[in-house]
Amino acid sequence: MSAVAHLRAATRASHQHLERHLDVKARFGSRDAYQAHLKLMWGVCAVLEGRFPLGFFGEALGDYELRRKLPLLTRDLIALGMDAVTVPSLPRCPGLPKCDDVAAAFGCVYVLEGATLGGRTLLPLVETNLGLTAAHGAAFLSSYGDQLSEMWRLFGVALDAWCSTAERLVSADVAAVATFVSLDSWLCGKPVIPRTTHL
Protein backbone atom coordinates (compact mmCIF):
# COMPACT_ATOMS: atom_id res chain seq x y z
CA MET A 1 0.00 0.00 0.00
CA SER A 2 1.32 3.45 -0.91
CA ALA A 3 1.79 6.11 1.75
CA VAL A 4 -0.96 8.17 0.09
CA ALA A 5 -3.38 5.23 0.30
CA HIS A 6 -2.35 4.69 3.91
CA LEU A 7 -3.02 8.32 4.81
CA ARG A 8 -6.32 8.28 2.93
CA ALA A 9 -7.47 5.31 5.01
CA ALA A 10 -6.19 6.77 8.27
CA THR A 11 -7.97 10.09 7.74
CA ARG A 12 -11.18 8.78 6.16
CA ALA A 13 -13.43 9.40 9.17
CA SER A 14 -12.19 12.93 9.88
CA HIS A 15 -12.16 13.83 6.18
CA GLN A 16 -15.73 12.64 5.68
CA HIS A 17 -16.88 14.52 8.77
CA LEU A 18 -15.45 17.75 7.36
CA GLU A 19 -17.01 17.18 3.93
CA ARG A 20 -20.44 16.56 5.48
CA HIS A 21 -20.40 19.87 7.33
CA LEU A 22 -18.73 22.12 4.76
CA ASP A 23 -21.69 23.88 3.14
CA VAL A 24 -20.22 24.31 -0.33
CA LYS A 25 -23.33 25.88 -1.86
CA ALA A 26 -23.46 28.65 0.74
CA ARG A 27 -19.70 29.07 1.00
CA PHE A 28 -19.26 29.63 -2.72
CA GLY A 29 -22.62 31.25 -3.44
CA SER A 30 -21.68 34.90 -2.88
CA ARG A 31 -18.54 37.01 -2.93
CA ASP A 32 -18.85 37.81 0.77
CA ALA A 33 -19.14 34.14 1.75
CA TYR A 34 -16.33 33.17 -0.60
CA GLN A 35 -14.08 35.89 0.77
CA ALA A 36 -14.85 34.74 4.32
CA HIS A 37 -13.82 31.21 3.33
CA LEU A 38 -10.56 32.45 1.82
CA LYS A 39 -9.80 34.38 5.00
CA LEU A 40 -10.21 31.19 7.02
CA MET A 41 -7.98 29.24 4.64
CA TRP A 42 -5.41 32.03 4.85
CA GLY A 43 -5.44 31.54 8.61
CA VAL A 44 -4.67 27.84 8.15
CA CYS A 45 -1.90 28.25 5.61
CA ALA A 46 -0.31 31.13 7.52
CA VAL A 47 0.21 28.83 10.51
CA LEU A 48 1.39 25.73 8.64
CA GLU A 49 3.59 27.50 6.13
CA GLY A 50 5.08 29.51 8.97
CA ARG A 51 6.04 26.22 10.62
CA PHE A 52 7.49 24.82 7.41
CA PRO A 53 9.78 27.55 6.09
CA LEU A 54 11.61 27.13 2.81
CA GLY A 55 14.28 24.49 3.28
CA PHE A 56 12.36 22.64 6.01
CA PHE A 57 11.81 19.57 3.83
CA GLY A 58 15.19 19.69 2.10
CA GLU A 59 15.39 17.19 -0.71
CA ALA A 60 12.47 15.20 0.75
CA LEU A 61 10.06 17.60 -0.97
CA GLY A 62 12.27 19.66 -3.25
CA ASP A 63 9.41 21.54 -4.92
CA TYR A 64 7.83 22.69 -1.67
CA GLU A 65 8.28 26.37 -2.59
CA LEU A 66 5.92 25.85 -5.54
CA ARG A 67 3.32 24.28 -3.24
CA ARG A 68 2.92 27.19 -0.82
CA LYS A 69 -0.65 28.50 -0.88
CA LEU A 70 -0.32 31.68 1.16
CA PRO A 71 0.77 33.86 -1.81
CA LEU A 72 -2.23 32.65 -3.83
CA LEU A 73 -4.67 33.31 -1.00
CA THR A 74 -3.20 36.75 -0.43
CA ARG A 75 -3.53 37.57 -4.12
CA ASP A 76 -7.17 36.45 -4.14
CA LEU A 77 -8.07 38.44 -1.04
CA ILE A 78 -6.54 41.58 -2.50
CA ALA A 79 -8.42 40.97 -5.77
CA LEU A 80 -11.63 40.75 -3.72
CA GLY A 81 -10.99 44.13 -2.14
CA MET A 82 -8.83 43.58 0.93
CA ASP A 83 -5.98 45.95 1.65
CA ALA A 84 -2.56 44.29 1.33
CA VAL A 85 -1.56 45.80 4.67
CA THR A 86 -4.57 44.24 6.42
CA VAL A 87 -4.20 40.66 5.14
CA PRO A 88 -1.28 39.69 7.43
CA SER A 89 -3.35 40.59 10.50
CA LEU A 90 -6.11 38.07 9.72
CA PRO A 91 -6.88 35.54 12.48
CA ARG A 92 -4.90 32.31 12.40
CA CYS A 93 -6.18 28.81 12.95
CA PRO A 94 -5.46 27.46 16.45
CA GLY A 95 -4.82 23.83 17.28
CA LEU A 96 -2.89 22.81 14.19
CA PRO A 97 -0.18 20.22 14.89
CA LYS A 98 3.30 21.57 15.56
CA CYS A 99 5.03 18.94 13.44
CA ASP A 100 8.58 18.88 14.75
CA ASP A 101 9.61 16.20 12.25
CA VAL A 102 9.40 15.94 8.48
CA ALA A 103 7.08 12.91 8.51
CA ALA A 104 4.47 14.80 10.55
CA ALA A 105 4.85 17.80 8.25
CA PHE A 106 4.15 15.53 5.29
CA GLY A 107 0.88 14.60 7.01
CA CYS A 108 -0.16 18.26 7.16
CA VAL A 109 0.88 18.93 3.58
CA TYR A 110 -1.07 15.85 2.49
CA VAL A 111 -4.24 17.56 3.73
CA LEU A 112 -3.41 20.81 1.93
CA GLU A 113 -2.51 19.01 -1.29
CA GLY A 114 -5.78 17.09 -1.09
CA ALA A 115 -7.59 20.40 -0.65
CA THR A 116 -5.85 21.59 -3.81
CA LEU A 117 -7.35 18.67 -5.72
CA GLY A 118 -10.76 19.45 -4.27
CA GLY A 119 -10.36 23.12 -5.10
CA ARG A 120 -10.28 22.33 -8.79
CA THR A 121 -13.83 20.94 -8.59
CA LEU A 122 -14.95 24.17 -6.91
CA LEU A 123 -13.36 26.48 -9.46
CA PRO A 124 -16.29 26.25 -11.93
CA LEU A 125 -18.64 27.38 -9.13
CA VAL A 126 -16.83 30.64 -8.52
CA GLU A 127 -16.28 31.18 -12.23
CA THR A 128 -19.99 30.76 -12.98
CA ASN A 129 -21.56 32.19 -9.83
CA LEU A 130 -19.09 34.92 -8.95
CA GLY A 131 -17.43 35.78 -12.25
CA LEU A 132 -13.94 35.09 -10.89
CA THR A 133 -11.02 33.49 -12.70
CA ALA A 134 -7.62 32.00 -11.95
CA ALA A 135 -6.15 35.38 -12.85
CA HIS A 136 -8.56 37.34 -10.67
CA GLY A 137 -9.86 36.07 -7.35
CA ALA A 138 -9.56 32.30 -7.80
CA ALA A 139 -5.82 31.65 -7.90
CA PHE A 140 -6.02 29.44 -4.80
CA LEU A 141 -8.69 27.17 -6.28
CA SER A 142 -6.81 26.90 -9.56
CA SER A 143 -3.45 26.05 -7.96
CA TYR A 144 -0.94 24.40 -10.33
CA GLY A 145 -3.13 24.99 -13.39
CA ASP A 146 -2.76 22.19 -15.91
CA GLN A 147 0.02 20.67 -13.79
CA LEU A 148 -2.40 19.62 -11.03
CA SER A 149 -2.28 15.86 -11.70
CA GLU A 150 1.48 15.85 -12.09
CA MET A 151 2.02 17.83 -8.89
CA TRP A 152 -0.17 15.35 -6.99
CA ARG A 153 1.76 12.44 -8.49
CA LEU A 154 5.09 13.98 -7.53
CA PHE A 155 3.84 14.60 -4.01
CA GLY A 156 2.88 10.93 -3.74
CA VAL A 157 6.35 9.90 -4.88
CA ALA A 158 7.98 12.15 -2.28
CA LEU A 159 5.61 10.96 0.45
CA ASP A 160 6.31 7.31 -0.35
CA ALA A 161 10.05 7.89 -0.31
CA TRP A 162 10.10 9.66 3.06
CA CYS A 163 7.35 7.81 4.93
CA SER A 164 8.80 4.41 4.16
CA THR A 165 8.78 3.11 7.73
CA ALA A 166 5.93 2.30 10.10
CA GLU A 167 7.15 4.94 12.56
CA ARG A 168 7.11 7.70 9.96
CA LEU A 169 3.71 6.62 8.64
CA VAL A 170 2.22 6.82 12.12
CA SER A 171 3.71 10.29 12.59
CA ALA A 172 2.19 11.42 9.27
CA ASP A 173 -1.16 9.79 10.15
CA VAL A 174 -1.46 11.56 13.50
CA ALA A 175 -0.56 14.95 12.02
CA ALA A 176 -2.96 14.54 9.08
CA VAL A 177 -5.88 13.62 11.34
CA ALA A 178 -5.09 16.50 13.68
CA THR A 179 -5.02 18.85 10.70
CA PHE A 180 -8.44 17.67 9.53
CA VAL A 181 -9.85 18.09 13.04
CA SER A 182 -8.48 21.64 13.28
CA LEU A 183 -9.87 22.47 9.84
CA ASP A 184 -13.27 21.08 10.84
CA SER A 185 -13.47 23.26 13.92
CA TRP A 186 -12.01 26.34 12.21
CA LEU A 187 -14.09 26.20 9.02
CA CYS A 188 -17.35 24.76 10.33
CA GLY A 189 -17.35 25.03 14.09
CA LYS A 190 -18.06 21.31 14.26
CA PRO A 191 -15.05 19.58 15.83
CA VAL A 192 -14.76 15.83 15.53
CA ILE A 193 -13.00 13.50 17.94
CA PRO A 194 -9.66 12.61 16.34
CA ARG A 195 -9.46 9.06 15.12
CA THR A 196 -6.53 7.51 13.35
CA THR A 197 -6.63 4.10 11.77
CA HIS A 198 -3.20 2.51 11.64
CA LEU A 199 -2.96 -0.18 8.98
pTM above 0.75, yes or no: yes
| pLDDT at residue 175 in the model | 96
Low-confidence ranges of the chain (pLDDT < 70): 190-199
Report the topology of domain 3-188: Heme Oxygenase; Chain A (1.20.910)
- Provide the residue ranges of all domains of the chain, joining segments of one domain with +: 3-188
pLDDT for 82-124, tens place per residue?
999 999 999 999 989 988 899 999 999 999 999 998 888 899 9
**pLDDT score at 193:** 46
At residue 153, the pLDDT reads 96
According to the model, what pLDDT value does residue 199 have? Answer: 43
Task: Please report the sign of the dihedral spanned by the C-alpha atoms of residue 38, residue 42, residue 43, residue 45.
Answer: positive
CB-count exposure of residue 62 (10 Å: 0-12, 13-18, 19+): exposed
